[in-house]
Amino acid sequence: MFPKSSQALRQTASSEATSTPAPARGSEPTQSLHGMSRIGARTTIRGDVNGDEDLLIEGRIVGDVSFPHHAVTVGSDGQLEGRLIAREITVKGRVEGQLIAAERITLKATAAVQGELYAPGLILEDGAAFHGNIDMNAEHAVLREAFGAEHRDSSVKPAAERRAEAEEREEIEETGGANAGRAAE
């Protein structure tokens, strides 16, 4: 009959604000949306989209998308017509255009892609529909243009090369640089 005390209301509001609601059935992604932009299923963007955090596309974009330091996911109902540049790309929906990733492109079973793929790593799940060209040369001019000078210094290097560099750094740290010259000999 009487409303809760103001302290009880504050505690209820506080616990509701900190609790994370369960994602809707079939919604994406399964992780928290903290640090991620989302283009909703009922949104259409005509023009270029640029950002500096991960992106989930559930709607439609007609234009270029550039998130070169982050992951971009085209959701199951997402559509993109244009050029997509990202560190890592996952496609579950429809794409027509160029996909350019510094690390890897993943086409899930529900993906329908027509265009060109440029990435040193590629995963095509059984059932994914793809029509176009694939170039996995980590030194391709398209990748250098998209990611600039940082591209060669990024994780696009072959795994063996990254391991060798890490081992060399560890050796230098352990010996204080005394054996650094000998490693090159």
pLDDT (tens, 9 = 90+) of the chain, 185 residues, equals 444 444 444 443 333 333 333 344 344 443 445 588 999 999 999 999 999 999 999 999 999 999 999 999 999 999 999 999 999 999 999 999 999 999 999 999 999 999 999 999 999 999 999 999 999 988 889 988 998 865 554 444 455 555 565 566 666 666 665 554 444 44
91-112 burial string, b = 16+ CB within 10 Å, else e? bbbbbebbbbbbbbbbbbebbb
Q: Which residue has the tokens 């990202």?
A: 86
Domain co-membership, 119 together with 179: no
Q: Rounded to whole angstroms, how far apart are CA atoms 76 and 95?
A: 11
Q: 65-74 and 54-57: which strand pairing?
A: parallel
Give the global pTM: 0.65
Q: How many domains does the chain have?
A: 2
Domain co-membership, 108 together with 175: no
Kindly report the backbone phi and psi dihedral angles of residue 67, in degrees, each rounded to the nearest multiple of 5, phi listed first. Answer: -130, 65
3-state helix, strand, coil split of the chain in percent (to 5) is 25, 40, 35
In a domain, 87, yes or no: yes
Domain co-membership, 143 together with 161: no
Domain co-membership, 160 together with 144: no
Provide the residue range defining the domain that includes 117.
Answer: 31-150
Q: Rounded to whole angstroms, how far apart are CA atoms 129 and 67?
A: 24
